[in-house]
């Protein structure tokens, strides 16, 4: 079986990809760039780590990191490169694939080996369908969606050094502004109260939070509520470019139900939808449909639930 090279800037995602590598089979080696803590954590988990320490490398320079991965893959005899499908990983995937002449699949949520084919699943048509695809040829770049595989836990890891020299980066980082820490994990929540653009104003958020607290749910939202209105951080977004959630219960308020949203919630066990439009698409994928003003409904629910 072909050698596999694993890389992610995030340790938790690197662990998930190691599990994906296990599904493919063969031996996986992990590249760690300028991050001793990550090298230690991954080897503790049982991975064979190849640690690269070179201050000329900047993770912000996708072209340069792609070059580093190409060289690392050659040195470590890997034809298959597994990346994380977070933003950095996705951006890197296409550049690296082009550089090494590989086919590439991003946002891969499941992998199944069928003979000599590595069949990958990813959402297509904005999430309306799920495509099963494989890469032709020996060289493959696969970017794996976060939370699609359990973190790897093995033993007998090692830390090795790898040396790659490369010209200094041309992308200059001027400033890094960490986003305010947001500890919500809607992808892991058992219950979600999800608001869309049907919500009138930011001032209505407290009653949504009150409802969520009463039933032990997290509050989530559709994308425009976060990216356009900025009422919530992007951590709260359900959908194709947000989080894929599988709660027991989703109460969906004032969301129209476009495919890029519904792909993030279609695996919920029970869905209740509240929308003023009785023909809203969201109603076709709900177990309980209430045609009403969400503000009234939330007020009433808060009263009933006491």
Q: Scanning residues 270 to 289, which ones bind ligand FAD (CB under 6 A)?
A: 274-277, 280
231-270 footprint of another protein as x/- string (CB under 8 A): ---xx----xx------xx--------xxx-----x---x
The single residue listed with the structure tokens 């495509």 is 131
Among ligand FAD, another protein, none, what binds residue 4 when CB lies within 5 to 8 Å by partner kind? none
SS (H, E, C) 42-57: HHHCCCEEEEECCCCC
Q: Which of 27, 98, 158, 276 binds another protein (CB under 8 A)?
A: 98
**In the chain, what is the straight-line distance between the N-terminal and C-terminal CA atoms, in Å?**
60
C-beta separation of 246 from 191 below 8 A: no
Considering only residues 142-201, where is the footprint of another protein by CB under 8 A?
A: 170-179, 191
Closer residue to another protein (CB): 37 or 179: 179
Q: Measured from the CB atom, is 60 or 292 closer to ligand FAD?
A: 292
Quote the least distance from Cβ 227 to another protein, whole Å: 4
Q: Which is nearer to another protein, 188 or 215 (CB)?
A: 215
How far CA 125 is from CA of 195, 200, 221, 227, in Å, comes to 24, 30, 21, 21
Is 215 near another protein (CB under 8 A)?
yes
Which of residues 3, 22, 46, 103 is near another protein by CB under 8 A?
A: 103
Q: Which residue number, 23 or 292, has a Cβ lying nearer to another protein?
A: 292
- Binding residues among 71-110 for ligand FAD as defined by CB under 6 A: none
Residue 160, token pair as written in the block? 């090795």
Cα(74)–Cα(278) distance, integer angstroms: 58
Q: How far apart are CA 25 and CA 28, in angstroms?
A: 8
Site pattern 216..255 for ligand FAD (x: CB under 6 A): ------xxxx-----------xxxxxx-----------xx
Of 113, 103, 145, 106, nearest to 23 (Cα)? 113
Among the listed residues 236, 261, 268, 283, the single contact to ligand FAD using CB under 6 A: 261
Name which of 31, 23, 25, 22 is nearest 2 in CA terms: 25
CB 292 within 8 A of CB 265: no
**Residue 269 burial by Cβ neighbours in a 10 Å radius (0-12, 13-18, 19+):** exposed
Give the distance from CA 208 to its chain's centroid: 26
Q: Residue 127 or residue 157: which is nearer to ligand FAD going by CB?
A: 127
Cβ–Cβ < 8 Å for 47, 126: no
Question: In the range 50-79, which residues lie near another protein by CB under 8 A?
Answer: 60-63, 66
* Partner in contact with 91, chosen from another protein, ligand FAD, none, beta carbon below 5 to 8 Å by kind: another protein
Could you list the residues that contact ligand FAD (CB under 6 A)?
196-198, 222-225, 237-242, 254-256, 258, 260-261, 264, 274-277, 280, 293-295
């Amino acid at each position: 079986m072909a050698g596999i090279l694993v890389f992610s800037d995030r340790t938790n995602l690197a662990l998930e990809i190691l599990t994906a590598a296990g599904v493919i089979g063969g031996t996986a080696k992990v590249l760690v760039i300028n991050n001793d803590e990550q090298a230690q954590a991954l080897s503790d988990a049982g991975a064979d780590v190849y640690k690269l320490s070179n201050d000329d490398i900047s993770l912000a320079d996708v072209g340069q990191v792609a070059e580093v991965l190409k060289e690392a893959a050659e040195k470590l005899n890997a034809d298959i490169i597994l990346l994380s499908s977070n933003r950095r990983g996705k951006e890197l995937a296409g550049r690296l694939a082009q550089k090494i002449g590989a086919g590439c699949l991003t946002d891969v949520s499941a992998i199944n080996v069928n003979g000599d084919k590595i069949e990958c699943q990813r959402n297509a048509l904005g999430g309306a369908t799920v495509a099963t695809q494989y890469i032709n040829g020996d060289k493959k770049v696969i970017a794996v969606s976060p939370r699609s595989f359990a973190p790897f836990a093995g033993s007998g890891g090692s830390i090795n050094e790898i040396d790659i020299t490369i010209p200094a980066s041309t992308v200059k980082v001027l400033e890094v502004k960490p986003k305010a820490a947001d500890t919500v994990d809607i992808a892991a929540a058992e219950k979600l109260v999800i608001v869309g653009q049907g919500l009138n104003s930011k001032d209505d958020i407290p009653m949504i939070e009150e409802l969520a607290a009463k039933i032990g749910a997290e509050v989530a939202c559709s994308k425009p509520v976060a990216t356009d209105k900025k009422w919530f951080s992007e951590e709260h977004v359900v959908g194709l470019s947000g989080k894929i959630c599988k709660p027991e219960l989703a109460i969906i308020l004032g969301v129209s139900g476009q495919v890029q949203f519904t792909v993030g919630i279609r695996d919920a066990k029970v869905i209740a939808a509240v929308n003023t439009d009785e023909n809203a698409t969201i109603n076709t994928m709900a177990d309980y449909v209430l045609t009403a003003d969400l503000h009234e409904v939330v007020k009433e629910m808060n009263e009933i639930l006491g």
